[in-house]
Structure 1
């Protein structure tokens, strides 16, 4: 698979990547291969997927994972329930500023390391050598927990919306927990089947799903602004701006400022899918440019449209308390019935349900690529099984079904109460954002300008962006674990179980690393056969580096081991 072709070695060595390989370990690809393969080879991996994703299809997958319409519908309880309409209006804007910073920091990493290992690979490469494996371990497990609960949380909401639609037609019907559970499991299995198909089919399915998602979003947006029946109820056409932007809903026992921060869970969970292009980069053409662009596009476009939809809901909702406490358990369905006739409400809910189906499938695809990449490096138990690529479909089928099984187990939280099942939303938010920020923080505070950026980068603004991203995540971790009630009102049913459901597995992962995994887990495992390639470097450059005459902020120069000892 590899040759001694010096031109090929030079081409791979000169790729703008920050690699786990040492400077003198340059893989040389044999035969016909494109620039994307050179980049991946420089990172230490041989190509295993077909590159059938374009910028558009990659964006479509990530946009499908965002699923703005079903995401807003699913998290309305949090966005509106904690702070009311101010949390949806200016709270969303504040959160999006910081989320966009994280997205741009991630895009920089993706451009420099376009591999499906994504943030996990970046944490291992950028951390000091002694701590690289531990940084990768923490990042990988936190990201995996966020990814593996993505599809279950979406499918749980989807199942609830489907059954809420039944209650509209049959008002006497009240969905039972076992019915929600069984329907959620069915949806999980269907999504796993679709995600096991060949890459080209999956890409086409997601392109169609994302197109429908956009159309459904526009239709619902127009309908709730133009066809609402508020005036027939003796109300003004829209709520006043003073109430939308300034009247808080007492959904928590905390002060207004904290309640606004707590409402950020809706934004964070909704916007946690923009890392999908990173994990799909090995299947994307022109990955070190197209993938980071898809990340930034997803976050920026998704954030703007999501805010517009939230503002539309805030200006038209009639009774927040009634929507949050509706017997169907779906505030969005209850909201639609407040402002629309039954037929219009059912039509909007049907569009939301179809969009949610596409979103759940996108989550399943993205999570399977994460599981595959981590298993390829031995991070998960029985990794050799989950790291296999199906010879026919050329997709990680085993990883898909592992995620499906774990996701189905997490849905059992339905039987532990509303607070417990609600934790899977918080896990998706906190797990993803911890994983997003760890490598960005390492790159900002420990690597600095010695980081070798890819073709997409922020230049001189990278440091400020990294500081803002890190501070936001540090602030939000405890906020996302706060319960809505305090003092004597707090009981098991009102507890925020995020700290248990996310913190428990993370604690076990840390203990496992300290007790055993540190002995054998050394970070990303490259699967290329590399050669020692002589890089011509003048001795005075090496001497200048060692004596401190060369600016330490200059990019690290590849050198031969022999040259170092000679110098």
Structure 2
């Protein structure tokens, strides 16, 4: 095989720029494999193929619709409503103000660093793929295994936890309208399962319809959020004073734990972290997004920044209007946000705000289901789960979406909802599981990029430049700080019992321990990290292509991707 110069290749009308411009770290070893370019590829497909994957989805997402999915997954209003017990209950109004600001600094750094990775490696595998590529030699499979399982645990609990919160709000509303009605555990279980099934059906539709649904969802979420932020202060029934004193809002820590005030504020971050854990969705949707190397990172950053600002506005409204934190947290309704609305609004206005929040919650659950299904598909494509190749990695030929992956997640979600019958502490653990699982997965590849790869990293067209190292350091430090905090119970000493224990370390750590045991005993023998999923004729040794007349894009680990021509 003779390697021609760039000028000679251009003379043969080969589009060298399309392949060479893909500034990505390829999984191919220099000179070992080549990717046959047997048709005109778009820039998105060329970049994906350079990463070792075949284009299988239609690219019908844009910056806006990718942002729509991630903003729906954030679901600011229902997320804050569902986790109000943590934000307000652990540290009071100071936790909702200063706590949100401090936590957001760390979260923004995680998001910015993730966006940089998404621009360089826009694949559905996302963080899992990035961990494999960025790990030291020989450690790629293990790093992707840890990242993948932690991310998947966080993703697969997303839709069930959101739908559980949605069901709680619906039943709390029913209790307000019919005081004699007392929701039972089986009511919550059945309603949550029904919502999960509806979301599964929507998520199984073709990409175009899912994108349209999430575009509408984005507008509704923003519109309803603005309405609620304006409505509550305008319609509050509080008198003398109408709003809480700023000194109290910002300076008073109402410690709802048995830990020191500083620890209580850190514990209140669970509300912020869980709320702000959906901005990775554009990364997982990048194979369905046009101009993904730019659109996906922009959607990640846009989601984190818009979510941070609007979420802070909601927290300020609650902090300045709540009058009795203890009554809100201990309300027999079982849903603090509904109790808060009844405390500061008329019954009619409270029901209206709750109804709008329920609509947002429903949209949010569907966004979580879509994002989780793409993660499951990407991991199944590389053989992570049992029966991956036979079932879970299959793309439906009619919808061209990973329908099997959707229903796998739905089944697991329904099984998780059985925790409802174990009590509020057990089912409540799914919120902290989602938080810790997501941020471990978010930060591991960022840490590798910052401290292992360093200047050898090949950025995509969206890059942090000289600020990349500082952002990575803050992101890593923030996650290392929060991992043990998220596992702390609210009580300690003699008050700690089976009923008051924080089960996050068990419910997240248990599956992770099983995954690591599987790795040690068996998986390390066959799992080699993200696998190439291209047709056999598109992935061959260059020597086998002599005489085919086909052009090959070969990966060069030092100089990017160069184009060669197979010759006799």
Q: Which residue of 1 aligns with 2:67?
A: 59
> Matches of 2:394 and 2:561 in 1, distance apart?
35
TM-score norm. by structure 2 comes to 0.92
Correspondences of 1:390-409 after superposition (within 5 Å): 390-409=396-415
Q: Distance in 1 between matches of 2:560 and 2:461?
A: 19
1:477-505 per-residue CA deviation (whole Å, 9 max, x = no partner) reads 00000000011111111110000000000
Matched residue, 1:467: 473
CA distance in 1, matches of 2:503, 2:424: 10
- Following the alignment from structure 1 to structure 2, what is the Cα–Cα distance between the partners of residues 58 and 137? 26
Aligned equivalents of 2:37, 2:341: Cα separation in 1: 57
Q: Return the alpha-carbon distance in structure 1 between the equivalents of residues 28 and 519 of structure 2.
A: 23
C-alpha separation in 2, matches of 1:60 and 1:110: 17
> After the TM superposition, which residues 160-559 of structure 1 pair with which residues of structure 2 at under 5 Å, given as runs?
160-231=168-239, 235-384=240-389, 385-528=391-534, 529-531=538-540, 556-557=558-559
Among 116, 119, 141, the residue aligned to 1:111: 119
Which deviates further from its counterpart, 326-335 or 5-14?
5-14
Q: How big is the shift at 1:252?
A: 0.5
Counterpart CA distance in 1 for 2:259 and 2:531 is: 46
CA-CA distance at 1:21 after TM superposition: 2.1
Which of 32, 35, 41 does residue 43 from structure 2 map onto? 35
Unmatched runs of 5 consecutive residues or more in structure 1: 535-554, 561-567
Q: Distance in 2 between matches of 1:242 and 1:502?
A: 38
Alignment correspondent of 1:564: none
Please state whether the residue corresponding to 1:505 is helix, strand or coil: helix
Q: How many residues align?
A: 535
Per the TM alignment, residue 380 of structure 1 is displaced from its structure 2 partner at its CA by 1.2
Q: TM-score, normalised by structure 1?
A: 0.92
For residue 516 of structure 1, give the secondary structure of its aligned residue in structure 2.
helix
C-alpha displacement of 1:173: 2.0
CA apart distance, 1:22: 2.2
Distance 1:34 1:533 in 2: 23
Comparing 279-288 and 173-182, the one that deviates more: 173-182
SS of corresponding position for 1:332:
helix
Q: Secondary structure at the match of 2:91?
A: coil
Mapped to 1, the partners of 2:439 and 2:411 lie a distance apart of 24
- 1 CA distance for matches of 2:149 and 2:92? 34
Change (3 A) 1:9 1:526: farther
- The structure-2 alpha-carbon separation of the partners of 1:6 and 1:135, relative to structure 1 and needing over 3 Å to count, comes to farther
1:223-259: CA deviations, max 9, x gaps?
111110101xxx3010001111111112101111111
SS of the aligned residue for 2:77 comes to: helix
Q: Using the alignment, how far apart are the partners of 1:226 and 1:14 within structure 2?
A: 54
> What residue in structure 1 maps to residue 3 of structure 2?
none
Q: Secondary structure at the match of 2:191?
A: helix
1:460, CA displacement in angstroms?
A: 1.0
1:91-102 equivalence runs, <5 A = 91-102=99-110
Q: Check conservation: 1:372, 1:387, Cα contact below 8 A.
A: yes
Contact 1:114 1:278 survives alignment (8 Å) = yes
The CA RMSD measured in Å over matched residues stands at 1.6
Stretch moving more, 195-204 or 523-532: 523-532
Q: Is the 1:19–1:113 Cα contact (8 Å) retained in structure 2? A: no
| SS of equivalent residue, structure 2 residue 401 | coil
Query: 2 CA distance for matches of 1:6 and 1:266?
Result: 56
After TM superposition, the structure 1 = structure 2 runs for residues 73-92 of structure 1, keeping only pairs within 5 Å, are 73-92=81-100
User: Are the counterparts in 2 of residues 213 and 355 from structure 1 also a CA contact under 8 Å?
Assistant: yes
TM superposition shift of 1:422: 0.7
Deviation at 1:171, TM superposition (A): 1.9
Structure number with higher relative contact order (C-alpha < 8 Å, ≥ 6 residues apart): 2
Structure 1 CA distance, aligned partners of 2:561 and 2:112? 31
Which runs of 4 or more aligned residues in structure 1 lie more than 6 Å from their structure 2 counterparts after TM superposition? none
Q: 1:27 Cα deviation (Å)?
A: 1.5
Aligned to 1:139: 147
**Structure 1 position 9, deviation (Å):** 6.3
Name the SS of the counterpart of 1:27 in structure 2: strand
Q: 1:249 to 1:449 in 2, by over 3 A?
A: same
